[in-house]
Structure 1
C-alpha cells in the first residue's frame, strides 16, 4: 500500500505538467523560477555559516517559524483540493492509523515539502559549520520538516471536513484579515529595528520567545546553549509533534467513518455570513449584524469617521507643542474608546427589524453577544495594526504592553457598557435609507447614554491609564502592570455588561418594541 500511494503521489505531481501547450509552458516556467529561487535561498542559508551565532539563530528561527505557520494557514486560506484527502480512500476499507502514516509520508512528496527539505539540509549544514552538534542540527531539520508536513496535513483535513461546505468569500476574508493582523505588526516591528551591522536585542528576545513555541521549537534547538533551554525546547518540539500526529490520526479516522454531506447542501450559495456563523440564535444575530455593519452606510460612516478623527487629533497636539513621540500615541486609545462606544445604540438602527428577536423569544445573552461580533470583527484588526505602528513611531517598544492594556480596557469596557445602554436607553437615529448625517429630534436620554459609556470606559481604564503614564514618563517597568490591569478590567466590564444587558433586554421587550414602532 505504501509503494502504491507513493506512486500515485508522484504520478499526480507529474500530471500537473500535462494539458494544453500554454498550461505546460506556464507550469514549466513556474518550476524553473522555483528551482532558481530554491538555489538562491540555499546559498543564502549556507552563507550564514560565516555569520555570528546570534545572526544565524535570528534568521533561521524567525524564518522557520514563519514557514511553519504558513504551512498551517495556507490550506485554510486557499481552499485548494487535497490530492491526499483521506475520504478518497474510504471505499478501500483501510485501517485509519496505517493510512494516516502512509498519507503523512506521501505528504513529503510535494513541491513545497521538497523545497523545505532542501533548505532544511542547508540550515543543518550551516549550524554544523557554526560548531553546533551535527546530530542536534539534523534532528532539528527533520523535526522542522515533519512539523510543517503534519501541520499542512491537519490544516487540509480541517478545511476538507469543516470549511469546504461553508466556504465563502466572507470566510476567506476573515482568514485574510487574520493574516493581515499578524503580518503588518511583525513587518512594522522588523522595520523599526536599528540593525547597525548586528542583530538588534529586540529581535533576539523575540527569537528566544519563538524558540519555546510550537512553531519555532524545532528550528531553535541548535541555538540553545544552556542545558535547561535544550530540555525545554526538546519537550515543546516533541509535544508539538505528538499533538499534530494525534490530531492527524483523529481527522483521518473521522474522514473514514463520516458520511459526506450531499452535494446540494455543500454547494449551496447566497447565504453569505449566515453560512459562516454558527447555527445558533447568537450566530444568526451576529451574521445579520455583520450584514448591517458592512453594508449599511449609517454604520460605515461611523466606522470610517473614528480612525480619521483619531488621527486628526494629533494635529492640534503637535501645534500646541506636545512632542511628536508622545502625540503619536494618542490616536490609538481614542480609536479604542470610540470603537467600544459605537454599539451603544445599535438596537435603534434595527428600526422595526428588532421584532424578529422579540417575537422568537431569543435569549438576551444571544442578542447582546451577537450584536458585539461586528465591532470585534472590525475593531480588533484595526487596533492590532494601529498599536504596533504607533509604538514604532514613538520609538520605545517597551511601551507596547501598556498600549495593549490601555486599548483593551477602553475597547472592551466600552463594548460591555454599550451592551447595557443599547437596551436600556435607545434613542432615535436616522431611518434605513436616510442620510447618515441626518439626525432626528430626540430627548436628552441619548446624550446621557453616550456620556455614560464614554465616562464609564475611561473610569474602567483608569488603572491602566495611570500605569501607562508612569511607564511613559518614569519607568517602563510599569508597562506590564498596565497591560494586565487593562485586560482584566476590560474583560470584567465586558462580561458584566453583557450579563446586565441581557437581563435588561429580556425585561424591556415590550418597551423596546414600542420604541421601534414609534421612531
Structure 2
C-alpha cells in the first residue's frame, strides 16, 4: 500500500502540469517563481554562517516557527482540498492504520515540504559553521519537517470533517479576527524593538520562549544556548510529534468510519452561524448563542462596557500615585475577569426560549460548552490585541508570559464558575427587546451573591499566578514562565471542572430552570 500511495502522489504532482494550456502556463510560472524565491531564501539562510551565533539562533527559531505555523493554519484559511483525503480510499476498504502511515509518508512528497527541506539544509550549513553537533543538526531538520507534515495532515483532516462554505460572511469574519490576533501582537512587538546593530534582547527572549513551544522546539535544538535547553527542545519536539501522530491516526479512523453528508445538506446557505458550525447539539447551541451575542443589544452592551470599565479602573490608581508602568498592566486582567464573568447568568437571557433545550432532551455538556463559544470568540481576540499594547506601555516584554498566565487563569476560571452559576443561581434580567439598562426588581439577594462568588472564585484560582507575576515584575523573570503555566493550568482545571459540574446540574435542575424561565 505504501508504494502504491507514493506512486499515486508522484503521479498527481506530475499531473498538475498537464491539462488546460493556460492552467499549465500559470502553474509553470508559479513553479519558476517559487524556485527562485526558494533559491534566494536558501542562499540567505546559508549566509547566516557569517553572522554571530545568537543572530543565527534567533533567526532560525523565529523563521522556523513561522513556517511551521503556516503549515497548520494554511489549509483552513485557503480552503485547500486534500488530494489524499483518506475517504477517497474508502472504496477499497483499507485498514485505517496502514493507510494513515502511507498517507503520512506521502505527505512528505509535496512542493511546500521540499521547499522547507531545501531551507533546512541551508540552515544546517549555517549551524555547522557555528559548531552545532551533527546529530543535533540532523535531528532538528528531520523533526522540523515531520512537525510541518503532521500539522498539515491534521489540519486538512479536521477541515475535511467540517467542510463549510468559506464564502460566508461569518466565516470570513472569523478568518479576519484570527489574522488580527496574530498580526497585531507581532506587529506591536516588532515595532517596539530598538535595533542598534545587534539582536534586541526582547527578540532573543521571544526566540527562547518559542524554542520551548510545539511550533519552534524542533528549530531550537541545533543552536540551543545550553545542553539543557537543547534537551528540553528535543523533548518538546518529540512529544509534539507523538501527539500529532496519535491525532492523525485517530482522524483517519474517524474519516473512514463516518459518512459524508450530501452537499445539499452541508451547504445551508442563508443560515449564518448554523451553516458554519457542526450540526451537533453543541454546534447548534453555539450558533444560536453567537447570533444572540452579535445581535441582541443586551449582550452587546455588556461586551462594550467591559473594556471601558477596565480602562476607567486605572484612573484612581494613577491619582493615588501608582506608577504608570504598573497601573497600565491592570486593565487587561480586569477585562479577562469580566469576560469570564459575562456568561454567569446566560440562561436567564434566553427567557422562554430555554424550553427548546429542555424539551429536546439536550444533555448538559453541549449546552454548557456551546454557550461558552461566543465569549471565547470575542474575549480571546480582544485580550490578544490589548495585552501586547499593555506590555509595550509597561516597557518590559519579559513580563508577557506572566500576564498571559494571569489573564488565562482569570478568563478560564471565570468561564468555568459561570457555567455552574448560570444553572445553580439564575436571576431575572431584562426581557428580550427591553432596554439593557432596564433591570427588573428582584426579591432576593441570590443574584448578587452569585455574581460575587464567580468573581471571587476566579481571583482565588488566579492568585498563585498573580503572586508569581508580582515577583516577575520585581525583576525575577524566571517567575514569568512559571506564572504563565500555573495560570493556564489553574484556569484550565477550573474550566473543565466547572463545565462538568454545570452539565450535571443542568440535567438535574431542568424542571426548575423551566419554571424560572416562565416566571421571569
TM superposition score normalised by structure 2: 0.79
- The answer for the alignment partner of 2:518 in structure 1 is 517
Judged with a 3 Å threshold, the aligned counterparts in structure 2 of structure 1 residues 432 and 53 are, in CA distance, closer, same or farther, namely same
Shift of 1:447: 4.9
Shift of 1:421: 4.4
Moved more, 129-138 or 196-205: 129-138
2:345 is aligned with 1:345: yes
8 Å Cα contact 2:281/2:362 also seen in 1: yes
8 Å Cα contact 1:337/1:410 also seen in 2: yes
CA deviation digits over 1:1-37, x for unaligned, max 9? Answer: 4785355223333148x355xx677656655554453
- The answer for the alignment partner of 1:118 in structure 2 is 118
Judged with a 3 Å threshold, the aligned counterparts in structure 2 of structure 1 residues 168 and 515 are, in CA distance, closer, same or farther, namely farther
Q: Decide which of 11, 17, 36 is 1:14's aligned counterpart.
A: 17
- The answer for the alignment partner of 1:130 in structure 2 is 130
CA deviation digits over 1:115-167, x for unaligned, max 9? Answer: 3233233222323333445675456445533442343234323433x223797
User: What secondary structure, in the 3-state scheme, does the structure 1 residue paired with 2:117 have?
Assistant: helix
Shift of 1:398: 3.8
User: What secondary structure, in the 3-state scheme, does the structure 1 residue paired with 2:399 have?
Assistant: helix
CA distance, structure 2, for counterparts of residue 376 and residue 270 of structure 1: 24
Moved more, 444-453 or 4-13: 444-453
User: What secondary structure, in the 3-state scheme, does the structure 1 residue paired with 2:83 have?
Assistant: coil
User: What secondary structure, in the 3-state scheme, does the structure 1 residue paired with 2:355 have?
Assistant: helix
Shift of 1:48: 1.2
After TM superposition, the structure 1 = structure 2 runs for residues 59-70 of structure 1, keeping only pairs within 5 Å, are 59-70=59-70
8 Å Cα contact 2:336/2:408 also seen in 1: yes
8 Å Cα contact 1:467/1:478 also seen in 2: yes
Judged with a 3 Å threshold, the aligned counterparts in structure 2 of structure 1 residues 261 and 48 are, in CA distance, closer, same or farther, namely same
Rg: which structure is higher? 1
User: What secondary structure, in the 3-state scheme, does the structure 1 residue paired with 2:82 have?
Assistant: coil
CA distance, structure 1, for counterparts of residue 501 and residue 5 of structure 2: 60
2:335 is aligned with 1:332: no
CA distance, structure 1, for counterparts of residue 146 and residue 482 of structure 2: 39
8 Å Cα contact 1:9/1:106 also seen in 2: no
Judged with a 3 Å threshold, the aligned counterparts in structure 2 of structure 1 residues 220 and 412 are, in CA distance, closer, same or farther, namely closer
- The answer for the alignment partner of 1:354 in structure 2 is 354
Question: Structure 2: which 5+ residue stretches go unaligned?
Answer: none
Count of residues paired in the alignment: 515
CA deviation digits over 1:249-287, x for unaligned, max 9? Answer: 666676667665444444455555446656665554333
Judged with a 3 Å threshold, the aligned counterparts in structure 2 of structure 1 residues 409 and 293 are, in CA distance, closer, same or farther, namely same
CA deviation digits over 1:208-238, x for unaligned, max 9? Answer: 4544554334433432476666666556656
Shift of 1:110: 3.9
Judged with a 3 Å threshold, the aligned counterparts in structure 2 of structure 1 residues 197 and 292 are, in CA distance, closer, same or farther, namely same
8 Å Cα contact 1:168/1:276 also seen in 2: no
Moved more, 71-80 or 241-250: 241-250
- The answer for the alignment partner of 1:163 in structure 2 is 162
After TM superposition, the structure 1 = structure 2 runs for residues 298-313 of structure 1, keeping only pairs within 5 Å, are 298-313=298-313
CA RMSD of aligned residues (A): 4.3
CA distance, structure 2, for counterparts of residue 418 and residue 276 of structure 1: 26
CA deviation digits over 1:368-401, x for unaligned, max 9? Answer: 4443332233223322333333223212234334
After TM superposition, the structure 1 = structure 2 runs for residues 216-295 of structure 1, keeping only pairs within 5 Å, are 216-224=216-224, 260-269=260-269, 272-274=272-274, 281-295=281-295
Shift of 1:426: 3.9
Judged with a 3 Å threshold, the aligned counterparts in structure 2 of structure 1 residues 497 and 46 are, in CA distance, closer, same or farther, namely closer
8 Å Cα contact 1:76/1:175 also seen in 2: no
Question: Structure 1: which 5+ residue stretches go unaligned?
Answer: none
2:44 is aligned with 1:44: yes
Judged with a 3 Å threshold, the aligned counterparts in structure 2 of structure 1 residues 307 and 145 are, in CA distance, closer, same or farther, namely same
CA distance, structure 2, for counterparts of residue 328 and residue 418 of structure 1: 27
CA deviation digits over 1:458-496, x for unaligned, max 9? Answer: 455555545544544586666567556655665566566
User: What secondary structure, in the 3-state scheme, does the structure 2 residue paired with 1:14 have?
Assistant: coil
8 Å Cα contact 2:57/2:224 also seen in 1: no
Judged with a 3 Å threshold, the aligned counterparts in structure 2 of structure 1 residues 379 and 127 are, in CA distance, closer, same or farther, namely same
CA distance, structure 2, for counterparts of residue 134 and residue 478 of structure 1: 34
CA deviation digits over 1:386-428, x for unaligned, max 9? Answer: 3333223212234334433433443344334434543455444
- The answer for the alignment partner of 2:8 in structure 1 is 5
CA distance, structure 2, for counterparts of residue 358 and residue 399 of structure 1: 46
